[in-house]
Structure 1
């Protein structure tokens, strides 16, 4: 069966870990279609990977199996999970990584994986990506039903991604959720948030306040000169702060969790 299996890890590519996971999957289902979603996610940080996963999965066909392994608790008591959401299957550790997807799922959409017959044995205490998550994904790709892997649960570890909120009389406050390899600062202020805020006004009537600077909202990167910061609605449908042909994170000296405020040029937010 040519099921798609995506892989998202913090393993990087300088070690053979990702390749071994692929080998396990192909050893069980040689016809699986493997897609490297990302292997440069910040180590030990489930929340950043959760944002990447919930942003990316909808661009794959229904039936895709997504394996996500950012797992600082590997070898400990945390459980392996299977989440069914929007026709997709997600496999990963119970550390909050899959929680935003679990919140979207139906009541029976979250299962603790307890069927050890689908694991690779012996199971290493340091590499559940290879010995648990990869083989489970492979067996699912061959048609094993989720119900065969374990019982539904509702006590999974919660992780709520922060949302933007109203600020002042005509502003909105958010924070930086992700920094991509170009140094762009991706925030939790969405296109919908801006539409509600603007209420028909042009985005150019608003400014983004970050790191003590006022940054204009533009339609595309090239609308500001090289080396100059701006803000744009990016491919994730979120407001991102950039430096044209530069690194916004380095230039502005901010990282994940930093506060951003969007407000009218002539509003109280412009005096922050």
Structure 2
């Protein structure tokens, strides 16, 4: 079974999400539509890439993913459809696919060319929906576009390695609902460069010298319960997606705040890891 997912920065206040779903159901009344997120920060490509990378593989192979973030067609950004890791993606060619494609090479990419027949200021509705429904009916990618060899890369998703392999310079690419700060440095890169050496990570004016596997690892459960409270302590972990995450243990955004607000870290802020 294949289905269609939606990931956009439309929010839920306006009519946009409903209009897109209505158009899909008009063409495919029995299709299953799943919302991945409509709360992507406006035009935030790195955030979109992170969300997609960590969600699409939970869906059945053959699923069709519409990505509607910064999707206006212009001289710098065309529209593409591709088959990647046995999934189909329909998106602007603005680098959003590059985090997923860092692990898998696309099997086929086409530049969508149905714009010649459709003039639109709402391409997710007027173009992406038509492409998704075409694919869902079993149509080939070549029918809706010409085959191309590559796509745009999102440079700020990639950390920078020093020439002597002693330093990784990364950045914040996502802040989750708990205020946790996700970096673009993953476990594989950390291990390849670090090779088990001691390290210091600088994030804003704070530094860390240990990475935990899960949040509760900061708690010493050998202590009596009344002595082990670590609520509000800062830590870094390899999160469920294997990226380094800066967190506050048991943070509460409504009262104490999360790592982003308490440590003064925001999207695109730089951080460094230095190995001894």
TM-score by length of 1: 0.82
Aligned pair in 2 of structure 1 residues 98, 198: CA closer, same or farther (>3 Å)? closer
Aligned pair in 2 of structure 1 residues 234, 128: CA closer, same or farther (>3 Å)? same
2: CA distance, partners of 1:109 / 1:244? 43
Which residue number in structure 2 is paired with residue 105 of structure 1?
Answer: 105
2: CA distance, partners of 1:157 / 1:199? 31
Q: What is the deviation of 1:157?
A: 3.5
1: CA distance, partners of 2:115 / 2:206? 54
Residues 109 and 150, structure 2, Cα contact 8 Å, conserved in 1 = no
Query: In the TM superposition, what whole-angstrom CA distance separates every residue of 1:227-259 from its partner, at most 9, and x where no partner exists?
Result: 111000111110100011321110111212222
**Root mean square deviation of aligned Cα:** 2.7
| Unaligned stretches of 5+ residues in structure 2 | 219-229, 252-257
Which residue number in structure 2 is paired with residue 270 of structure 1?
Answer: none
2: CA distance, partners of 1:75 / 1:114? 11
| Unaligned stretches of 5+ residues in structure 1 | 268-272
Which residue number in structure 2 is paired with residue 214 of structure 1?
Answer: 207
Which residue number in structure 1 is paired with residue 179 of structure 2?
Answer: 183
2: CA distance, partners of 1:157 / 1:195? 27
Aligned pair in 2 of structure 1 residues 93, 219: CA closer, same or farther (>3 Å)? closer
Which residue number in structure 1 is paired with residue 242 of structure 2?
Answer: 237
Aligned pair in 2 of structure 1 residues 210, 263: CA closer, same or farther (>3 Å)? same
The worse-fitting range, judged by mean Cα deviation, of 237-246 and 44-53 is 44-53
Residues 159 and 168, structure 2, Cα contact 8 Å, conserved in 1 = no
Q: What is the deviation of 1:198?
A: 5.2
1: CA distance, partners of 2:41 / 2:50? 12
TM-score by length of 2: 0.81
Query: In the TM superposition, what whole-angstrom CA distance separates every residue of 1:5-61 from its partner, at most 9, and x where no partner exists?
Result: 111100011112112111111211122221111111111222321232233322322
Whether 1:16 aligns to 2:12 is: no
2: CA distance, partners of 1:98 / 1:133? 15
Which residue number in structure 1 is paired with residue 260 of structure 2?
Answer: 249
Aligned pair in 2 of structure 1 residues 94, 233: CA closer, same or farther (>3 Å)? same
Aligned pair in 2 of structure 1 residues 263, 159: CA closer, same or farther (>3 Å)? closer
User: Alignment partner of 1:239: what SS?
Assistant: strand
Which residue number in structure 1 is paired with residue 2 of structure 2?
Answer: 3
Q: What is the deviation of 1:124?
A: 3.4
